[in-house]
Amino acid sequence: MADPTPDPRFKYIPFGTDHPVFKGIDGVEAEEWVCAIRQKALSLRRQRDNDWIADFASTCFVGDALRWYEDLDEDTQRDWRKLRLALLAQWPAPSQRDQAAPPNPQTQSAIIPTPAAAPPVNTDGTRIGRIRIIATDNRTGSITFSGYVSRTINTFGCHVATKDLAEALVVRVESDGAGPSQLKMENSSSGLKWLGVSWAFPQPQMTSGSTQFGYLAAVAENDDNSSCGKHGLMRSAIWNVDSMANKNLRGIWSSPGLPPYDLATVYHSDHKIIDLVAGSASFINANSGWYTAALEWDEI
């Protein structure tokens, strides 16, 4: 049997089950799919890798769209710019976008979140709150974003940031007193129970110089799946709530035989993505558009 361990000479690229599928329904779906492919590439730091994007996009066609793709010449299939232009020409924008027209249920169902419910009432003495996120530019010290962790997830299953209080994620602290706590999500659109981290690499490196990252994601009951798919290790019991008296909320990663490691939070200004990393300085230096961020507890 072949060794499943990735060749260390090559960067590991996590392929999950969260491919943005393209069916060839209409021009609206085509535009949304091109945007989704770009967001996927950005989330994996491959936005400048034309060959990788073209190869990844080739795995997302189904049905009539797949048959159309297979009829393309090889040069178009291998070039992301030519591919997206050919696709948008094949499925052009509607001549009129009448706001009164009924939406396409096949494209709208994936992008319209479930309406937010009212925050739960605390009746059992546990702590319930929202999570604020404040991002700062290290060079100037100025605040670049102030808002909340959102109850909704993006195309790739990550909980993002929002300025809308009504869309803020509400969580309940669950702790057995023996280690890091869990945050049970009360209103997440993901359908999963816990807020945690889903690493984009099989074995995260806990060093200050690491550039690896984990998604702020919804994690399943037994840490065996996440809203971002199965890229690497995932865990929900990572939260240090001891510092909540000072409103600070920090992630902690524990590995067998090693002391707990404090995780840093980073924020992407354009895509509202929130990641947890081992080394914020090294990560930000290696990736553009990211800022140091802090998570704060906002009691309800």
The tokens of 83 are what? 């591919």
- Three-class secondary structure of residue 157 per DSSP: coil
In a structure prediction context, what are the per-residue pLDDT tens digits for the chain, which is 300 residues long?
334 444 332 343 344 445 788 888 888 888 888 888 888 888 788 888 889 999 999 999 988 899 999 999 999 999 999 999 899 888 887 653 333 334 444 444 444 444 555 545 455 557 899 999 999 988 888 999 999 999 998 887 889 999 999 999 999 999 877 788 999 999 999 889 999 999 988 888 888 888 889 999 999 988 888 988 877 899 999 998 766 667 889 999 988 888 889 999 999 988 899 999 998 899 999 988 899 999 999 998
* Cα(266)–Cα(294) distance, integer angstroms: 8
In sequence order, the β-bridge partners of residue 173 are: 183
pLDDT score, position 176:
74
CATH 1.20.81 fits 128-299, yes or no: no
Helices 50-58 and 27-43 meet at what angle, rounded to 10? 130
pLDDT at residue 291, rounded to an integer:
94
- Estimate the share of the chain in helix, then strand, then coil, as percent rounded to the nearest 5: 25, 30, 50
Domain ranges of the chain: 27-94, 128-299
Q: How far apart are CA 162 and CA 151, in angstroms?
A: 9
Tens of pLDDT, residues 201-237: 888 888 888 888 999 999 998 888 898 887 789 999 9
The SS3 assignment for 106 reads helix
Task: For residues 131 and 147, give the distance between their C-alpha atoms in angstroms, rounded to a whole number.
Answer: 9
Question: What is the per-residue pLDDT for 107?
Answer: 41
Q: What angle do CA 193, 197, 199 make, to 5 degrees?
A: 135
Q: How far apart are CA 40 and CA 57, in angstroms?
A: 10
Length of the chain: 300
Q: Radius of gyration of the chain from Cα atoms?
A: 21
Cα dihedral 205/209/213/219 (nearest 10): 50
- Asked if 291 and 266 count as a contact pair (C-beta separation under 8 A), the reply is yes
- pLDDT computed for residue 151 by the predictor: 94
**pLDDT score of 146:** 94
Q: How far apart are CA 282 and CA 286, in angstroms?
A: 6
Distance CA 132, CA 149 (A): 6
Place of tokens 């085509």: 30
For 69-207, strand residue ranges (E) read 128-136, 143-153, 159-162, 170-174, 182-185, 194-199
